[in-house]
Structure 1
């Protein structure tokens, strides 16, 4: 077999020597890292040259690479075991050709054991209740997922399913009731406030830590070696640790300073015990190495190329490809024979079963409502990714025809969460009694800033000057519409009969989606769907139909940069007006989007659900911990922008700002909360108002 591979490579090189080019190019899928870690920029220019049999295909994340290979748009790439589980659950057809091992003779990347002190009186799992537990903690999930971190407890602790507690608290409470004391340092949840509450409520799980009051990542017993120090310092009875760290800690690895291994043993998952220095130690769960995965029909040829690679200082395609797939200079080991995902995991003890521990019945599921095929597809991959990394409750994806139908589904308890645009927030709150779960927060430059866009030749110096001008709005009852209504009411330019008075204040207008019984002037300027939405309102203005448009400042910038078709409109005479005395040129601001849930949702359910999305943000958002992103929460999906979430989103938060210090004035949420400002002084002094107030007082006295 080895001679055959050498012969194939030899033939390939002969072809190159004769022709100077390759008849077929194999496409390696590349995922760039954060910030300046752009592997494509570093390695792909050399690979894309004619003398190379390989060219680059750049993807947004590793699961994007899997989809590209599955659809035949790429041929191979590097993937983690978690990626492979998601691929298997999504029926992606790939084969595995090579492992990327940091240590050539180590079969798995991670092997985890349970080490206990012989003085603790542990002879089997039945002796564990009431013992003191040393855990490595949380906060380095890039290679130590919560599934691996929680595997021991999931194996020995009886789960609890109190209906009035979140899933996170149920797990914490079960461990707190099972162990006498523990050190589980680091963030238990992604929500800092909830994390503090849980640690205050279950302090025995921090009792063994060096600083129990903080129980943080700065604790001396936090981290891979921290759990072993907790054990050998005498604080705890049993430690959950990586075998590699155990061997180093107790001096079984050459060149290490040992801790005396006498008095310590291994607790085995089959309920037996084993000496610490056993040549074949008992493992609870393993994590396999990263692999090269390929299209089935090209697997053998790609394995031949990959196996032949070496790293050199020479600027060759071979060296560039080797460094691209193996940036930390590990050993690229062929898998013989080439195998599928299920076969690869067959001998990976515990890895596939880690998610199969019994949960609560009926299971808790967060149902996300989507409104397009591509939203549903991204949601499905998000669901698989969340499951692989141990995020609970589970996600489910339900498709409706549009966002309004999604809101109806939430109101009818047929779905739980819908992600909407700012223009839909008022409808969600008013018509379907929904409330905000979280906001997609962005930097100031990316916020929706409601702006007044004018023709440069229009002499407008204050709000009163807008009287009688022809107005273009993106949509009825949206951010721009409600912000203009609020501003005019606040300045006592219109009263409470909004539609009638807006029609009287402005001239002929285009207000898309306005009710059928609204004034006819709202439809005078509209040209079918051409003037609908942000870009439509700007086309309405730039075509000469309107005098003023109320849209987001960023829409104006994109329109002028011709990022959207302008239908040959003249944009040279447009300007952003600043009509406010305090210097603020915007009428309101809003985040790009937000998630809505039923207002009747319980506090417990809201905590559970919000925590799930914070975990998704931590794993798959802008601050992901892996060298490359496993799944891009905020970014293009299959080349399409702003699917489910917006590309510019920085974080998910339960307040609409990136930071608590954000002091930008006129948030749209406040405008919606002040809908009754239209009660003017004249109305208050009117006889009708006085009669109404007297009637209310009289009814109270009678009661």
Structure 2
């Protein structure tokens, strides 16, 4: 029996000693990880960013790692199996409990805030998130919420209105909204809110404090560190306005910012005691001043330095001696208690202002998850309206949901292939994802050499191969030939093509949710697709000729010509030439033709909403703020245009550098807008229905009206 116990103890000890705990690491840590993994105690798991680290620790895929405070707050309400283990505090700040804590302060004690001068640091040149910089304002705004719905087109207009109503001459400096025209209008309309800003010096928090000290009957938002550094508080009485509504002569904070945090998974599946192991590795005694290793640690001094370098990924902590201040909360709600000890993080429902929210349509579980993280990120950065995530089965189902009268969704980012369907559903672009150079869409017309096709007119009656009915290649062909071989008057592009071409393959031509009208000869447009026993569906699983690769196969096997989206990864077919949009032929037997030879050069996607919806201006302002905070600024924890949890192209393509408004003059966006201009003009002038269901209702209404009118006339006689 004793022998068995001893054997089990040895096995347990060996497993505990040799188990590799998984740590979050970035690709830049690859060389360090290679050295650290040699001891078989720690294994690096690579993540895209800190948010992915938090998600994987929550799921138990990774055991521990470090994140900054904003990433921790981002996970509020979205994770449940993470335990905060320690703060990573620089040696220079070892006696400072927080990175910063915000306070509202004055030299005077007031019964009411109305009419006071308000000194605010602004939102530029500071790492403090806008939500924290607006926290005090939001508390005093509530009495003006009844002005929301009727008086203002956007949330920011109500916000500035409320500030101007409450406070007297103030300094709330800087940009108030990313829309330059609206920002200028608001500054011109409310000059009192920036009247005290001139002649202030220092960083934003110092300027705010200086504004208060220079102005009677004033109140300032700043930090306790700024006050301690600039004022001898032992000789000067200050009054602090607290979150609970009281006024105190001792500091009371609104929000506190912790230093970077070491976190670990709460899953118990891994062998060994991770908490005790981390304590042994990272307690201050491990880093002896003489550089020698601690006898109780199973990592040597070099490995400990490698571990420290991965954990101290934050730029301000690199090459700095740090302390690991342990948290002592072993309760099941340790994460929630940790968050609440620093800051109030409102939920989406509690953050709605003026009853406005924007419902973002998603098409997968992964996209829905990223959308929920975007919703929390936008709340944490004070961006309105609040995002609500609505999941549907496909982009087409999202378009239908947005167009329906019950308005179950408000927006979605769709591929350019759905632009025609979106317009027919009465929807339009509110913003465009930009594209990097050489990543835009280029469409080409390929013709077989032996089909006697010398100009565009020769395509009449020919067999055409298209990647997708109503897709961007299909529409580019219509635009290039409209007024030359196709009528310039009709809006019914499907009928124009089915009348002009011979048997063809246009995957999706039989699908009614692509806004197909009865005038289209769908059997003819699907003939080449279905001859092989396959369907005409827009699906690779059931249609060999779907997408660009399928259209090339169709051309090789059956077609006379094909219209495709350029894809350099595909092999250029034999016995084929590129016909340029001016009717000439490229001299190159390859996809890399001159720019002037493309049928079109376009952006890859668009953000779709309802036309003339009252919420649209607010949505557009929110999108511009996402671009600023979650793309342009590199220190924020959520990256809108990056992979999420190691999954690409969710909500937006990873290749998106930023967003642009529809009036952008960038060629791919301008070309895309021009491509759809005829549809808009034609629909207004011809009565062709934007939404197929609306068209049916219109016909029914007209028919009913005529019948009633006829009956009345007959009764009169």
Bucket of the pairwise TM-score, normalised by the shorter protein: 0.7 to 0.9
Q: Which consecutive residues of structure 1, in runs of 5 or more, have no partner in the other structure?
A: 1-10, 32-37, 212-218, 253-259, 561-569, 680-703
Deviation readout 1:66-95 (Å, 9 max, x if unpaired): 221122221112223333344340243111
SS in structure 2 opposite 1:445? coil
Correspondence for 2:479 among 468, 477, 486: 486
The answer for the alignment partner of 1:558 in structure 2 is 569
1:323 lines up with 2:306 in the alignment: no
Structure 2 contact 457–485 (Cα < 8 Å) conserved:
no
Structure 1 contact 221–230 (Cα < 8 Å) conserved:
no
The answer for the alignment partner of 2:398 in structure 1 is 406
Q: How does 1:103-118 map to 2 (within 5 A)?
A: 103-117=93-107
Tell me the CA shift for residue 335 of structure 1: 1.4
Correspondence for 2:257 among 283, 287, 296: 287
SS in structure 2 opposite 1:510? coil
Tell me the CA shift for residue 209 of structure 1: 1.1
Deviation readout 1:475-502 (Å, 9 max, x if unpaired): 1112111211121123245675755653
- In the aligned structure 2, how far is the partner of 1:401 from the partner of 1:617? 27
- In the aligned structure 1, how far is the partner of 2:486 from the partner of 2:135? 65
Structure 1 contact 160–360 (Cα < 8 Å) conserved:
no
After TM superposition, the score normalised by the length of structure 2 is 0.76
- In the aligned structure 2, how far is the partner of 1:360 from the partner of 1:453? 52
1:138 lines up with 2:123 in the alignment: yes
Change (3 A) 1:436 1:607: same
Structure 2 contact 58–79 (Cα < 8 Å) conserved:
no
Q: Which consecutive residues of structure 2, in runs of 5 or more, have no partner in the other structure?
A: 1-9, 269-273, 293-299, 511-517, 536-542, 585-593, 684-717
Tell me the CA shift for residue 179 of structure 1: 0.9
Change (3 A) 1:172 1:500: closer
1:229 lines up with 2:217 in the alignment: no
Change (3 A) 1:514 1:210: same
Tell me the CA shift for residue 589 of structure 1: 3.0
Q: How does 1:435-446 map to 2 (within 5 A)?
A: 435-446=428-439
Change (3 A) 1:90 1:333: same
Change (3 A) 1:612 1:115: same
The answer for the alignment partner of 1:590 in structure 2 is 602
SS in structure 2 opposite 1:112? strand
- In the aligned structure 2, how far is the partner of 1:111 from the partner of 1:98? 19
The answer for the alignment partner of 1:641 in structure 2 is 648
Q: How does 1:376-415 map to 2 (within 5 A)?
A: 376-411=368-403, 412=405, 413-415=407-409
The answer for the alignment partner of 1:247 in structure 2 is 228
1:347 lines up with 2:341 in the alignment: yes
Deviation readout 1:277-321 (Å, 9 max, x if unpaired): x6xx33232222221111123344334333366598999332122
Change (3 A) 1:386 1:676: closer
Correspondence for 2:525 among 511, 522, 528: 522
Tell me the CA shift for residue 42 of structure 1: 5.5
1:670 lines up with 2:674 in the alignment: yes
- In the aligned structure 1, how far is the partner of 2:352 from the partner of 2:368? 26
Q: How does 1:586-625 map to 2 (within 5 A)?
A: 586-602=598-614, 605-621=615-631, 623-625=632-634
The answer for the alignment partner of 1:87 in structure 2 is 75
Change (3 A) 1:346 1:646: closer
Change (3 A) 1:446 1:73: same
Q: How does 1:53-132 map to 2 (within 5 A)?
A: 53-102=41-90, 103-117=93-107, 122-124=108-110, 126-132=111-117
- In the aligned structure 2, how far is the partner of 1:504 from the partner of 1:611? 44
1:302 lines up with 2:302 in the alignment: no
- In the aligned structure 1, how far is the partner of 2:211 from the partner of 2:96? 27
- In the aligned structure 1, how far is the partner of 2:56 from the partner of 2:99? 26
SS in structure 2 opposite 1:618? helix
The answer for the alignment partner of 1:472 in structure 2 is 465
SS in structure 2 opposite 1:196? helix
The answer for the alignment partner of 1:6 in structure 2 is none
- In the aligned structure 2, how far is the partner of 1:461 from the partner of 1:333? 76
- In the aligned structure 2, how far is the partner of 1:499 from the partner of 1:300? 69
Structure 1 contact 184–209 (Cα < 8 Å) conserved:
yes
1:210 lines up with 2:198 in the alignment: yes
SS in structure 2 opposite 1:423? helix
Tell me the CA shift for residue 665 of structure 1: 9.4
- In the aligned structure 2, how far is the partner of 1:315 from the partner of 1:42? 17
- In the aligned structure 1, how far is the partner of 2:183 from the partner of 2:203? 16
Structure 1 contact 221–227 (Cα < 8 Å) conserved:
no
The answer for the alignment partner of 1:35 in structure 2 is none
Tell me the CA shift for residue 396 of structure 1: 0.8
Q: How does 1:362-381 map to 2 (within 5 A)?
A: 363-381=355-373
The answer for the alignment partner of 1:451 in structure 2 is 444
Tell me the CA shift for residue 601 of structure 1: 0.7
- In the aligned structure 1, how far is the partner of 2:321 from the partner of 2:157? 40
Instruction: Count how many residue pairs are aligned between Structure 1 and Structure 2.
Output: 610
SS in structure 2 opposite 1:50? helix
Tell me the CA shift for residue 251 of structure 1: 5.4
Structure 1 contact 424–478 (Cα < 8 Å) conserved:
yes
- In the aligned structure 2, how far is the partner of 1:474 from the partner of 1:70? 42
Change (3 A) 1:576 1:228: farther
Structure 2 contact 255–344 (Cα < 8 Å) conserved:
no
Tell me the CA shift for residue 446 of structure 1: 1.5
Structure 1 contact 82–389 (Cα < 8 Å) conserved:
no
Deviation readout 1:641-685 (Å, 9 max, x if unpaired): 22221111111222275xx4x346971321221249999xxxxxx
1:335 lines up with 2:326 in the alignment: yes
Structure 2 contact 445–564 (Cα < 8 Å) conserved:
yes
Tell me the CA shift for residue 338 of structure 1: 5.0
Correspondence for 1:421 among 395, 400, 415: 415
Change (3 A) 1:334 1:267: closer
SS in structure 2 opposite 1:584? helix
SS in structure 2 opposite 1:636? coil
Structure 1 contact 184–205 (Cα < 8 Å) conserved:
yes
Change (3 A) 1:616 1:330: farther
After TM superposition, the score normalised by the length of structure 1 is 0.78
Change (3 A) 1:230 1:535: farther
- In the aligned structure 1, how far is the partner of 2:207 from the partner of 2:65? 35
SS in structure 2 opposite 1:392? coil
